Structures are given as C-alpha cells and as structure tokens.
C-alpha cells in the first residue's frame, strides 16, 4: 500500500483562533503542498447542506439519459458532461475520463440560470444556498491568504471574488461508475486524468470510504492517495473539506502558491479503510475571480521577492504550468485557455492546446 499524502489539517473557525497564525499556516501549506484540509465543524457549511448536495447529486445522475443530454455542457462551462467527454490529461490519456459531471453556474433568486434535469428542479433553492455558502468560505480563505502573504490591502483577493460579478465559478457534481461497470478500462487508465485546477481555490467534498484521489507529491514526484478522513478527523461529524490552490492563484502569485497535480485513479492503492470498488461521488466548488479581473502583480513584498528569485510557476514535477508567461491576462482569458485544452470534443480537436 502506498504511503498516504502528507497534507496539513487546519481549523479556521475554532473559538479563540489567532487569525494571523491561521493565515500563516494556510500560506505555508499552500507554498509547500498546494493542498490543505479544513476542519468542518459546521460554522461555514453545515453537515446538512453537504449531505443534501450529495443526495441531489445521486438524483441527478440517476436521471434518464435524455434528460441529462438536454443539458449538455456548453462553452460557458455549464451543464452535463457524459463518460469520456472530458480529457484532463490529453497528452497521456488513451480515452477521456471515466466519469460524468454536471456544472452549475450562477443561480438567480434561488433558480438555476441554465437548463437542468426536471428531477432536481425542486432542489434549486437548496443548491443555490449551498453554492453561496461555498463562495463565502472561499472568500474567507482568500482573506486569510491575503493576510498571510502580507498583501496590501489584505482583502485584495477577496474583493476580486465578488459573489455578484460574472465569473467562471462553478459548483460541480461528479459521478464515477464502479470499476465493475467499466469493463473497457485498461490497467493504465484512470478515472480522471492528471491535472491541476484552473481557478483560484477549489473546495472538495467527499464521502467516507470512497478512495481514488491521488496527488503528485511535490517532494518525491510519486503518486500518493489522499485520505477522505486523515488521522485525527475520524470522529468528526463530517470529513474535513479538502482545499487546493488552482493555476490562476498560482499564476497570480508568480508560482509562490503551489498548484499541485492530482488525479482520480482506479488503483487499489487506497488509504486505510477506503475502497475504489463502489461508485464514487464528489462535490466540488471551483472559485474564480470576476471575469474582468486583471491578473496583475499582487501587492505583496513576499510575492515580489519570490518573483525576483526566478520562479517559473511550476505546478508539479513533469507537469509545468504552460500559462505563466509575463502577459497580464484577465481571469476569463485564463479560464478559456484551460477549457479549450480539456473539452476536445466541444472546442474541436484541431484547437487542442499543448
């Protein structure tokens, strides 16, 4: 059995928490690992909200195929993607990912602003509230990153992620069929290809005992499983929320904050007590700045000093970030570059980016 990934666990909401110390711990984790567990005691997102999201996810993926196809993903990155539609690692994958996904864009007055299957229409208000709670938790984390990096003003990142401005932020439901239902998979295939995330930060919610997530350990260059419930959290009401830095925030900080490559594997190299034999569900929130946000240099002496040391924005051994050229992009331009490389069928193979 492979050694599990070493990822810090931080409680950002405990009573009497020293905000400056928590901010320092978050930045240290983001610099060294690119991932961090956030203990979830219900102050930011309640266990009931998380449980409800997984319940709605099951309803959605059990909907008739024609209902899901009616909501197929568009170039705005919203909608349903079927098996093998997404190819997260096009350079090495034989076929697309062994998963289904559904991307939710913004809600307005508790209603989806995109086509959704009829089976989940009664749950729109709950999904809207959950999405809002995810975004507010991201803004809380981004403020802590601003404090930890000595950004002036500290709310530099937070103000760029207004909940009302148009952005690429997405609430995503994912379903991975059990290996027994995917007999066409070969030994070298993966459920989701090796990749780094596109946005600022990602929140990942998982169910106990469901394995599959692996990170490319920055220090060793080896794949390591990421437990759903790391040691010390087994008795918590909910597993901790797994947070990772995306390419955009790494780009924005000149590579100081690490965007770590990860994948979802069929492998039996699971963390203790976890298995890949059953269907795997996950709920993800990808937080992005407002579309028009210029990704100009961050007003932080620590970030500037790191730039002077010549960081190349590397996001993992063998998986460098190709988008760290000095040109100042907007958040929307950065996202579109990544989507074109991922959805080959949607954008056309001829437009595939290396």
pLDDT digits (tens, 9 = 90+) for 68-81: 999 999 999 999 99
pLDDT greater than 70 at residue 130: yes
CB 139 within 8 A of CB 158: yes
Pairing of strands 9-10, 35-38: parallel
What is residue 114's predicted lDDT score, i.e. its pLDDT? 98
pLDDT digits (tens, 9 = 90+) for 13-53: 888 889 999 999 999 999 999 999 999 777 899 999 999 99
Query: Lowest-pLDDT range, 179-188, 196-205, 213-222, 345-354?
Result: 345-354
Q: In sequence order, which ranges of the chain are alpha helices (DSSP H)? A: 19-32, 47-61, 65-69, 124-148, 156-160, 247-252, 301-308, 331-342, 344-347
Instruction: Give the count of beta carbons closer than 10 Å to the beta carbon of residue 22.
Output: 19
73 contacts: CB under 8 Å, gap ≥ 6: 79, 80, 81, 85, 101, 103, 343, 346
Q: 281-304 as b/e, with b when 16 or more CB fall inside 10 Å? A: bbbbbbbbbbeebebeebebebbe
343 contacts: CB under 8 Å, gap ≥ 6: 73, 81, 85, 86, 87
- What is the separation of C-alpha 38 from the centre of its chain, rounded to a whole number of angstroms? 14
Share of the chain above pLDDT 70, in %: 91
**CA-to-CA distance for 84 and 171, rounded, in angstroms?**
20
pLDDT digits (tens, 9 = 90+) for 252-263: 999 999 999 999
What is residue 315's predicted lDDT score, i.e. its pLDDT? 40
Phi-psi region of 69 (alpha: psi -120 to 50; beta: other; left: phi over 0): alpha
Tokens representing 239 are: 């597993």
Provide the whole-model pTM. Answer: 0.90
pLDDT greater than 60 at residue 322: no
Q: 133-146 as b/e, with b when 16 or more CB fall inside 10 Å? A: bbbebbbebbbbbb
**CA-to-CA distance for 61 and 174, rounded, in angstroms?**
9
133 contacts: CB under 8 Å, gap ≥ 6: 44, 45, 49
Average pLDDT over residues 153-168: 96
pLDDT greater than 80 at residue 88: yes
What is residue 115's predicted lDDT score, i.e. its pLDDT? 97
pLDDT greater than 70 at residue 325: no
What is residue 319's predicted lDDT score, i.e. its pLDDT? 40
**CA-to-CA distance for 261 and 195, rounded, in angstroms?**
5
pLDDT greater than 80 at residue 158: yes
What is residue 183's predicted lDDT score, i.e. its pLDDT? 82
Return phi, psi of residue 265, to 5°: -105, 155
CB 74 within 8 A of CB 67: no
**CA-to-CA distance for 285 and 83, rounded, in angstroms?**
20
**CA-to-CA distance for 190 and 181, rounded, in angstroms?**
14
Average pLDDT over residues 172-190: 91
Which residue in the block uniquely carries the two structure tokens 């190299």? 269
Pairing of strands 262-265, 280-287: unpaired
Tokens representing 321 are: 């970030």
Question: ω into residue 275 within 30 of 0, thus cis?
Answer: no
**CA-to-CA distance for 211 and 193, rounded, in angstroms?**
15
Residue 223 is inside which H or E element, if any?
strand 223-225
What is residue 351's predicted lDDT score, i.e. its pLDDT? 39
């Amino acid at each position: 059995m492979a050694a599990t990934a070493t990822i810090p666990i931080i409680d950002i909401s405990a009573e009497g928490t020293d905000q400056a110390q928590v901010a320092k711990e978050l930045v240290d984790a983001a610099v060294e690992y690119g991932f961090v567990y956030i203990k979830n005691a219900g102050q930011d997102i309640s266990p009931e909200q998380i449980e409800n999201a997984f319940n709605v996810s099951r309803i959605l993926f059990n909907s008739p195929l024609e209902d899901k196809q009616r909501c197929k993903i568009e170039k705005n990155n919203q909608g349903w993607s079927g098996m093998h539609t997404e190819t997260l690692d096009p350079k090495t994958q034989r076929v697309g990912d062994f998963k289904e996904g559904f991307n939710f864009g913004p809600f307005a007055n508790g209603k989806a602003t995109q086509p959704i299957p009829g089976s989940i229409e009664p749950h729109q208000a709950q999904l809207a509230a959950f999405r809002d709670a995810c975004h507010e938790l991201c803004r809380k984390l981004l403020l802590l990153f601003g404090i930890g990096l000595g950004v002036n003003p500290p709310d530099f990142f937070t103000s760029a992620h207004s909940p009302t401005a148009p952005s690429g932020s997405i609430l995503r439901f994912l379903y991975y069929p059990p290996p027994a239902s995917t007999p066409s998979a070969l030994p070298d295939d993966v459920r989701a290809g090796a990749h780094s995330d596109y946005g600022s930060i990602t929140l990942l919610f998982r169910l106990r005992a469901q394995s599959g997530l692996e990170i490319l350990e920055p220090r060793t260059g080896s794949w390591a499983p990421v437990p759903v419930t790391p040691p010390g959290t087994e008795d918590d009401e909910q597993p901790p929320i797994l947070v990772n830095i995306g390419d955009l925030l790494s780009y924005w900080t000149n590579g100081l904050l690490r965007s770590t490559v990860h994948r979802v594997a069929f492998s039996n190299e699971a963390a203790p007590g976890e298995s890949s034999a059953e269907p795997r569900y996950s709920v993800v929130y990808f937080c992005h700045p407002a579309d028009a946000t210029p990704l100009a240099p961050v007003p932080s002496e620590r970030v500037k000093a790191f730039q002077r040391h010549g960081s190349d924005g590397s996001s993992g051994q063998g998986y460098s970030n190709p988008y760290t050229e000095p040109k100042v992009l907007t958040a929307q331009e950065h996202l579109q570059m990544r989507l074109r490389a991922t959805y080959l069928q949607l954008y056309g193979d001829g437009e595939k980016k290396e």
